[in-house]
Every structure is written in structure tokens, then in C-alpha cells.
Amino acid sequence: MEAYRSAEPITTWPMKKILHEIPELKGLEPAADQSALPGTLAQAAATLENFWKNFQNTSSLETIDESRQTRQRSAGAHPEVDEAVREFRYLMLTDPDNPLHIKEYRTDLHGRPRSSELAVSGFLQTSGFTSLPLIFGSREQHLTDYRYLGSQRVHDQACKVVAFAQHDTEDAVSRWSIEGQQIPVLIQGVAWIDAEGGEVVQIRTDLLAPQPRVSLGRATTVVRFAPVQFHKARGVFWLPQEVTVSIDLDAYTFVNRHRYSQYQVFTVLTSESSR
């Protein structure tokens, strides 16, 4: 936790630095003040509560383009690159003990579970994308600082743009498992929230600070969400469509590109195809 306590969160950066460090903000119309922030947070929290209230167990076809590249340590050195393409069933299951939590994990195409840790092949397995917008949930907002950045059109949608950074408190910490080590994780980033409906259209997260004790220098996740309508289900659910994860770990840079399709309502006995 000590590395996080000395961090400079994105919510305190000058706008020039934010625009330089977050390329996804190209085209942002900066806000003149923070007057729109309370309403934006309230709308996002209400939309999320409705999402969790109506969400059903869901699966999708997941395609991952994985790469592992050695980082350049000297001028003129050529990085070694390994690549693979894999397909899984990605499951998003409601938690009966916690209605505001979704369990996310993957199986192979035959239903056999896959480990979420470092795979035998040497590629890093990444997951947990559906739950990322929870950082705007009413129960999470007291653990996070927010800053209204302005407005921007993303994927042809008008969005309100909010930067966020978790506090350095144990209550806000989630944990990553990498090679058997449990790493405390605090995140910061930017979210693009639909100006009309309050849904998170896109979110980018980064570490609040590097973790040098475990050689974790960077972990950037960019998720694009899209509306999914299930047959006979109430409402539209905004679920991950494309995800890019970039991680600097030890001597390697891992890049995973996830694509999701064929969303279905998932039950033990049967499933219903989405429209």
C-alpha cells in the first residue's frame, strides 16, 4: 500500500497532462467547472443499480488475441514476441450472497474451467471487465475521488467524461493473483458515460501507482461496452464488446485483446440466444 500513498492521482493532474497521457480523450470539450459532476454521478449510480437488479446469468463467446513481448533493455535490441489466438466461453454469474456483485470467469468451449492465473503457455489471463463500472456505484463512490472533465462523442454517442481515482484505503482494494502472489490493486482512470441514459459506454483504468516489489510497472485496461437485448428479458444490458489490456510485468509486456459475441442468458439446464 505504501506505493499508493505517495501516488499523484489523475484527478489532480493539470488538464494538459491528462490529454497527453490519455489518448482516448482526443476530441474532448473540457468542462469550465465541476457543476455537472454531482448529477452525472447520481445518474450513473441509478443506472447501475437498475442494471444489477435486472441482470441475469450470461455467457458469451470470447476471442482473445494474446501477445507477450520482451521489453527493450538496450538500444538496437530486438524484442522477442510470442502470439496466440484463443476462444473461450466467458461467464457472468450473479452472486446470491451479494446482489451488487458479478462473478466472472471463463471455460473452454467444452465447459471446462480455465485458470485466471499465469497460464502454462506463458500468456497472462485477464478478466473482470463487466464489473468495472461498479466504481460509479452508490456503495463505491465514498471510496473514490471524481473529476468532471467535459463532454465528448465516443462511438457516435454523446458522453459525459469523468476521471476517477480510488482512495488509498483497504476498503477500496481488490487483489490480483499473479504467479501465486496476491497483489493489492487501487485503480484510477477515465469513464465515458452516456449523456442521456447514464450507462458507461467506455472505461479506461490504470494502476494508481506501479508495484515495484512484484515488478508490476503498468496495467492499462480499456473496455468498450455495447447494448445487448436478450429474448424475453427486461431492459437492455450494456456489456463488454471489446477490451484491450496492456500489462508491464517483470521483463515482459503482455497485450490481450478480447472480443465478445453471441451473448446468451445462461442457466444450468438451458440458455436463450440474444437477439
Is 272 domain-assigned?
A: no
> Are 252 and 243 in contact, with CB atoms under 8 Å apart?
no
- pLDDT per residue over 32-88, tens digit each? 999 999 999 999 999 999 888 888 889 999 999 999 888 655 555 566 788 889 999
Share of the chain above pLDDT 70, in %: 87
Is 273 domain-assigned?
A: no
> Are 215 and 249 in contact, with CB atoms under 8 Å apart?
yes
> Structural domain of residue 133, as residue ranges?
2-264
pLDDT at 273 over 50: no
The stretch 179-195 carries a mean pLDDT of 88
Is 269 domain-assigned?
A: no
Is 82 domain-assigned?
A: yes
> Are 232 and 272 in contact, with CB atoms under 8 Å apart?
yes
**Mean pLDDT over each residue of the chain, to the nearest integer:** 86
Please give the tally of structural domains in the chain: 1
Is 91 domain-assigned?
A: yes
Is 254 domain-assigned?
A: yes
Q: Burial of 9 by CB count in 10 Å (0-12 exposed, 13-18 middle, 19+ buried)?
A: buried
- The enclosing domain of 218 has a CATH number of 2.50.20
Q: Check: pTM over 0.85? Answer yes or no.
A: yes
- pLDDT per residue over 148-184, tens digit each? 999 999 999 999 999 999 987 777 667 777 667 777 7
pLDDT at 269 over 60: no
